[in-house]
Structure 1
Amino acid sequence: MVQVSDMSFKEQMQGFPWQQILVISLVRLAEPVAFSSLFTYAYYMVEDLGVAHTKAEVAKYAGFLASSFAFCQVLTGVFWGRFADRNGRKPTIIFGLCGSIISVLIFGFAKKYWVAFMARCLMGILNGNVAVVRTMLGEVAKEKKHQALAFSVIPLIWNLGCVIGPLVGGYLSGKETSISFMKEFVMEYPYARPNIVIASMLFFSVTVALLFLEDTHYAHKYRHDYCLEIGDKILAKFSGKVKLRPWQSKFDEESEESIPLQELIDEDTTNAKGPNITEETSSDTQELNVEPPPSIREVLTVPIFSAVFSIFINAIHVVVCEEFTPVFVSTPVARDDNGELISKFPFKLAGGLSYTTAEAGFLLSSTGMFSVTFIILVLPHINRKFGTLTIYRMFSIPLPFIYFAVPFAVLLGNHLTLASWMMYAICVMRTMCYNLILPQLNVMVHTSSPPKQRAFVNGISISFSSAARCAGPFIWGFIMTAGQAHDIVWLGWWAISLLACVGIYYSKNLTDEDQTEVERAGEVRLET
């Protein structure tokens, strides 16, 4: 068998499911925009809502807003997984997008902190699309040579959203506008405009999902989808050729294995070529043989637990850095009564860099644009040249040093242009590392799991990741607040530097052995 590293780029891309992945990407794009747009104006929104008594407390309350979303995702992740298994991937995606529309509008018009907090909670409760999108990518990209590229779509779309989101949040938030008839509205609701734009983008995603997204669930893809038929007619006007949909033929033309988010479907049914269902017999009331899901103890072998725990560790320091970087740079430069910098090398570090919302937005957007370019042009070549585990270990090493350097930017408070260049360099290096290590972890979770239990393991990894995204901002909100209050801004940043070191050390337990190949080899030995 030809190894991926021995293939040319053209050979690797042969048969890649571009059309389906493009639709999934368009559907997914608006959600990271909604998530990342908050970062640029969180500092100022918390200040305007009047909940923080001192400037040092702003980071804590901004952290609460971030962690509330992830906490609610942890609570509802299993429910949405079962919902997607029972009702299909497409309805789950559409419901989650509609929930996000409602949530961002409530958040944008919030005039009390508790309303904004509840809106973020609602967004986490009503949206379980992260796990569903990851499962759909696994269902459309079955060949090993396509897996790394398919899973890299997740950080690609995330970074593209992180280009658009901060621009929308940075340039549309605040109480200033050049449009005369909107001045009164903007003064009353300074954070409504970015969220109205994001709600419009989410509505576009709903439209794309209705018209062009095909359900990848092994049984529900045979349901007659009238919206998809309309979308096919639209595509036919431009391309003249549309592929046959599953319900339009008696038998599925492709041998597809679709593993549900929760491993509830009978093994024989799941591994089948596809149910022999016509339009007349594909009803929602069809009985399915079910078996209880495996216990967590049965599933979490050492390689699987190591991969999932590595996701947990990395998710903490990644989300803390992403969410507190704009808070850090938006904090005013700390000066004494004589106008001199309070910060002194090496340990007395206070304040920030006095960025405006637009400047913070441009910092995140420009580095996000670099990430998108990097993923498209560089990541495929690195994936072909090095193994999954090698890439993960190689690009985890710079992260502790990057985090360690961040707080020293305050020493350049009298030279803000130089400080900005330093922050741009730091953000570019860290996003490059993120985009190389996170897809490798997803691939390792996928390959270290037995095929029959991959969906269940995927659900566990999503829960661990969401728990990290909840705990990280919540805990570091207090740490960052304490650091600002005592002129030791380095406290929070050096803490995540230490956490990144733990992740590097723990990588010795990881493996990139593919359990599918192991099981196939075992079957061959049994047959002989």
Structure 2
Amino acid sequence: MEEEKLEQPLLKKKYYENCPGCKVDQAKELGTDVSLRNLSFIWMAVLCGTLPLASLFPFVYFMVEDFNIAESEEDISAYAGYVGSSYMFGRTLTSILWGIISDRYGRKPVIIVGAITVVIFNTFFGLSTNLWMAIGMRFLLGSLNGLLGPIRAYATEIFREENQALGLSTVVAAWGVGLVIGPALGGYLAQPELKYPHLFPKGSIWDKFPYFLPCFVISAFAFAVAIACIWLPETLHYHNGSKESTDNVEAAEVGSSESKKDKMIEKDESLFLNWPFMSSIIVYGLCSLHDITYQEVFSLWAVSPRRLGGLNFTTNDVGNVLAISSTGIVIYQLSLYPSMQKACGPVNLARIAGVLSIPLLQSYPFTTLLSGSTLYLVINIASILKFLMGETISTCLFLLQNRAVEQHQRGAANGIAMTTMSAFKTIGPAGGGALLAWSQKRLNASFLPGTHTVGERGIKGTENVKVID
């Protein structure tokens, strides 16, 4: 039976009764698209995809040590880097595929499948008994979890044009908070039988699998997200049994303006010839490499013993630092960032944050000269500033990417961005872990001794922000 077309004379648009995309468009026309419900869906989905990414960093050093595979203590960081890189390697291989699937079958199915993937493979990662099992579970977790690309496109499709910045800001804020809360959970909940013996006694499953608890908590959250996303509004259009994107409607609306029409045709020829978009992608990839390398190296360096140039922190100490940084990100995103971007613009603000990151990263090796409360105060201030600068750069670049393309190209654009980011973040953990391991073997070198080498690596990762718009 052919679907009935519903017409609204005042709006002069046609809607199909059983089309989910039309229902979303009607809500946008009525001005009811901005709701706590829609923002909550975006926030939960992004957290679900982000929490497993970095949650292992505070305890992966000890996990690899328990595998008894490293020939020397200095080699532990290198093996830990392989575990961290396997997730991003898997995501690099499949990000575009998941984007194509979401364009064909809808955003909602891909998001739900991604949440279920976290439930299964993040749980098995916590139960890993050897290095290859850990690497395999992280690889499958990355390759089968394709929700982050579609949720970025979804954040622009669910809102009207004037409210799309709110959706994109929600994605970036949730992404940044997830990258900090994840390691905080890993730091607080790893090895619970040692930290909370009255709750997790010796001989229990938590003693046999000391890194299972943080993975279990994140998987439980992902299970709740998968259930909640059953009520997620779909944004793709299905008319008479076939998929139809909103591009057709938008193209008709733009048709009255020859300049806009010409602009769309020009950009349709090749997204890779859009230099404003591609330049932001290049910088975004380099900054992603820097960010993931920093998170990997910071956690490994912080828990490393003093004799190797580390801080000799416990996983709880790392969790405390990251939790405080997470609070700073939330406050910053909700208060200071919008006014700073309005005053400076996204390009200049990203440049300023990149330049200020250079002396900040150079100061990290000198914190080993401190101790006690002074050390905790300094390292917390440095961590907060570093995460705020990283979030500033990422948010600015994310906005530049979406402003450089038309709405009908944002799905493909976000797929390219995710693939680029994943490729660079595949290199980051392995490279950072290997670099840290190498630096710990040359503590008495005359040039850039010990962890000063890692500080120089951080500088190289941010130089590119200054020179590319």
TM over 0.5: yes
Determine which of 55, 74, 87 is the counterpart of 2:105.
Answer: 87
For residues 162 and 299 of structure 1, do their structure 2 counterparts lie closer, same or farther at Cα, with a shift above 3 Å needed?
A: closer
Equivalents in 2 of 1:309, 1:394: separation in Å?
Answer: 18
Match of 2:213 in 1: 193
1:505 matched to 2:449? no
Match of 1:154 in 2: 171
Q: How does 1:235-250 map to 2 (within 5 A)?
A: none
**Superposed displacement of residue 147, structure 1:** 3.8
Match of 1:485 in 2: 441
**Superposed displacement of residue 22, structure 1:** 2.0
What is the one-letter code of the residue matched to 2:174? I
| Identity of matched residues, % | 26
**Superposed displacement of residue 390, structure 1:** 2.4
Moved more, 18-27 or 104-113: 18-27
Determine which of 49, 72, 83 is the counterpart of 1:54.
Answer: 72
Match of 1:226 in 2: none
Equivalents in 2 of 1:492, 1:300: separation in Å?
Answer: 36
1:208 matched to 2:228? yes
Equivalents in 2 of 1:197, 1:298: separation in Å?
Answer: 40
What is the one-letter code of the residue matched to 1:474? A
**Superposed displacement of residue 14, structure 1:** 11
Match of 2:275 in 1: 302
Q: State whether residues 190 and 211 of structure 2, in contact with CA within 8 Å, keep that contact through their aligned partners in structure 1.
A: yes
Q: Secondary structure, in 3 states, of the residue corresponding to 1:394?
A: helix
Q: Secondary structure, in 3 states, of the residue corresponding to 1:455?
A: helix
Match of 1:45 in 2: 63
For residues 298 and 139 of structure 1, do their structure 2 counterparts lie closer, same or farther at Cα, with a shift above 3 Å needed?
A: closer
**Superposed displacement of residue 191, structure 1:** 1.0
What is the one-letter code of the residue matched to 1:307? S
> What CA deviation, in whole Å up to 9, does each residue of 1:287-326 have, x standing for no partner?
xxxxxx968x653332222111010111111111112111
Determine which of 286, 291, 295 is the counterpart of 1:313.
Answer: 286
Match of 1:521 in 2: none
Aligned residues: CA RMSD: 2.5
For residues 187 and 383 of structure 1, do their structure 2 counterparts lie closer, same or farther at Cα, with a shift above 3 Å needed?
A: same
**Superposed displacement of residue 50, structure 1:** 1.3
Equivalents in 2 of 1:33, 1:20: separation in Å?
Answer: 20
What is the one-letter code of the residue matched to 2:438? A
Equivalents in 1 of 2:403, 2:48: separation in Å?
Answer: 29
1:183 matched to 2:178? no
> What CA deviation, in whole Å up to 9, does each residue of 1:80-115 have, x standing for no partner?
111111111111101011111111111111111111
**Superposed displacement of residue 480, structure 1:** 1.4
Moved more, 14-23 or 78-87: 14-23
Match of 1:331 in 2: 304
**Superposed displacement of residue 151, structure 1:** 1.7
Q: Secondary structure, in 3 states, of the residue corresponding to 1:53?
A: coil
What is the one-letter code of the residue matched to 2:213? R
Equivalents in 2 of 1:486, 1:503: separation in Å?
Answer: 30
Determine which of 440, 447, 459 is the counterpart of 2:396.
Answer: 440
Equivalents in 1 of 2:344, 2:237: separation in Å?
Answer: 34
Gaps of 5+ in 2: 1-30, 254-266, 444-449
What is the one-letter code of the residue matched to 1:312? G
1:367 matched to 2:333? no
- Equivalences, count: 415
Match of 2:127 in 1: 109
Equivalents in 2 of 1:370, 1:14: separation in Å?
Answer: 31
Q: State whether residues 296 and 432 of structure 2, in contact with CA within 8 Å, keep that contact through their aligned partners in structure 1.
A: no
For residues 125 and 272 of structure 1, do their structure 2 counterparts lie closer, same or farther at Cα, with a shift above 3 Å needed?
A: farther
What is the one-letter code of the residue matched to 1:410? T
Q: State whether residues 139 and 258 of structure 1, in contact with CA within 8 Å, keep that contact through their aligned partners in structure 2.
A: no
Q: Secondary structure, in 3 states, of the residue corresponding to 1:219?
A: strand
1:21 matched to 2:26? no
**Superposed displacement of residue 60, structure 1:** 1.1
> What CA deviation, in whole Å up to 9, does each residue of 1:430-488 have, x standing for no partner?
11112222111011111122444332222111111111110122222221111111112
For residues 17 and 40 of structure 1, do their structure 2 counterparts lie closer, same or farther at Cα, with a shift above 3 Å needed?
A: same
Equivalents in 2 of 1:127, 1:444: separation in Å?
Answer: 25
**Superposed displacement of residue 328, structure 1:** 0.6
Q: State whether residues 94 and 209 of structure 1, in contact with CA within 8 Å, keep that contact through their aligned partners in structure 2.
A: yes
For residues 30 and 453 of structure 1, do their structure 2 counterparts lie closer, same or farther at Cα, with a shift above 3 Å needed?
A: closer
Equivalents in 1 of 2:53, 2:292: separation in Å?
Answer: 11
For residues 156 and 268 of structure 1, do their structure 2 counterparts lie closer, same or farther at Cα, with a shift above 3 Å needed?
A: closer
**Superposed displacement of residue 429, structure 1:** 0.6
Q: State whether residues 107 and 115 of structure 1, in contact with CA within 8 Å, keep that contact through their aligned partners in structure 2.
A: yes
For residues 61 and 206 of structure 1, do their structure 2 counterparts lie closer, same or farther at Cα, with a shift above 3 Å needed?
A: same
